[in-house]
Amino acid sequence: MTGANDLATVEGIQAYISGTLFDSVDVLRLSGGYGNYTYRLSLRAPFHGQETVILKHAKPYVAAMQSIAFSLQRQVYEVTALRQVRDMLPADSLVTVPEVLRFDESASVIIMSDCQRRAGSVSLPLKQALISNALPLAATIQVGHALGEFLARLHAHGRDDRAFAEFFAKNEEGKKLSALVTYGRLVSTLTGNTLPALMDPPFETNDAELERVAAVAAEMEREMLETRETVVMGDFWPGNVLVSLTDGEKLDGDGRPVGVGVDGVYVIDWEMAKTGLAGLDIGQFVAELQLICDFKPEGREAASNVRDAFLRAYGKSAGTGLGVARRALTHIGAHLVAWTVRTSWEGKEKMREVVRKGVDLLVRGHEGAESYIRDSVVGPLLM
């Protein structure tokens, strides 16, 4: 085996897998990874019928920002989550997770199934599929509904299975990181005058708003660190949902192939799985769909279809109460404030408009009346 540092390179990976069951004719570094070094291996010989697999190598820091420490224990949480979540799902579930094929803890390597159910299918992040209209409108409701049922099932399992919850309650680093990257940056985002979209002129918030934002942020950070409400995925957004699309493999009533279909949906990157608040998984997913609606008109109808079907299915499956809906709405607001100006959306005025909407949702949603919650974007949760 090569030295651990070499696994950050294609050459190191080729040496690591040489002579093993995962020996490959090609190793491709994938660009989507943020926290890890991730590769697609094209195997010399199929492994359990699979011609390609995914290899993920972790360092004790974030791959894209090496100054940020990130414990290797995160891989243990990811592997455990993938195995246990996969086991809890029905065999015919449209939504699933990758299968762990090998976990080499000493080398910090996970090898898992590629997110395609059959040869000829193409996997895309849901975010990309919505923006590019690769996901047909007819399939958007199906995907949203399936994801809502999936998340409700996960949260129910996290409440009901004590051993499952006790294990993920140990992910203290995941709790702290989640609290920091959103709620820990709310006040500085609004007052720091360092983010270009919120400068020249400075973004305007009054003292009462800032005081309320700070109070909500402190309360939510405390709850995120202390709660045992359920087990959450912890990074549930359309970039961590892959849709496997097939072209012309489904047949109409006359036996003729029809257009693009959804072959499977995969939820990936479970390193942040932990005990947490169900509303935050919901809120992060919906907030990102809202950003597509706000910034990408070409994907607005598809994203809103997924959003509403997701919320209705989750609410029906989980019997969502007002508290979960209120936290989801609060988190949508927090996410719009903390993340809109830190990602690659275009248009300064539009970004400021969305941040303003986020402040309003955060301030009003946290203690909003039931009528306000029902009339908001998360209203379908309570139908």
**What is the per-residue pLDDT across 270-298, written as a single tens digit (0 to 9) for each?**
999 999 999 999 999 999 999 999 999 99
| Angstrom distance (rounded) from CA 213 to CA 111 | 42
* pLDDT given for residue 363 in this prediction: 92
pTM: 0.93
* pLDDT given for residue 253 in this prediction: 52
| Angstrom distance (rounded) from CA 120 to CA 140 | 21
Domains of the chain with CATH codes: 1-113 (3.30.200.20), 115-382 (3.90.1200.10)
Name all contacts of 347-354 with Cβ < 8 Å and 24+ positions apart: 347/295, 348/196, 348/197, 350/294, 350/295, 351/197, 351/198, 352/197, 352/198, 352/203, 354/291, 354/294, 354/295
* pLDDT given for residue 149 in this prediction: 98
* pLDDT given for residue 174 in this prediction: 95
Sign, CA torsion 124/126/131/136: positive
Q: Which of 380, 381, 283 is nearest to 337 (CA)?
A: 283
Q: Which of 345, 138, 101, 132 is nearest to 262 (CA)?
A: 138
Distances (CA, A) of 366 to 33, 175, 352, 375: 33, 20, 21, 14
**What is the per-residue pLDDT across 166-203, written as a single tens digit (0 to 9) for each?**
999 999 999 999 999 999 999 999 998 889 999 999 99
Per the CB < 8 A criterion, the answer to whether 76 and 274 are in contact is no
Positions in the chain short of pLDDT 70: 1-5, 32-33, 116-120, 248-259
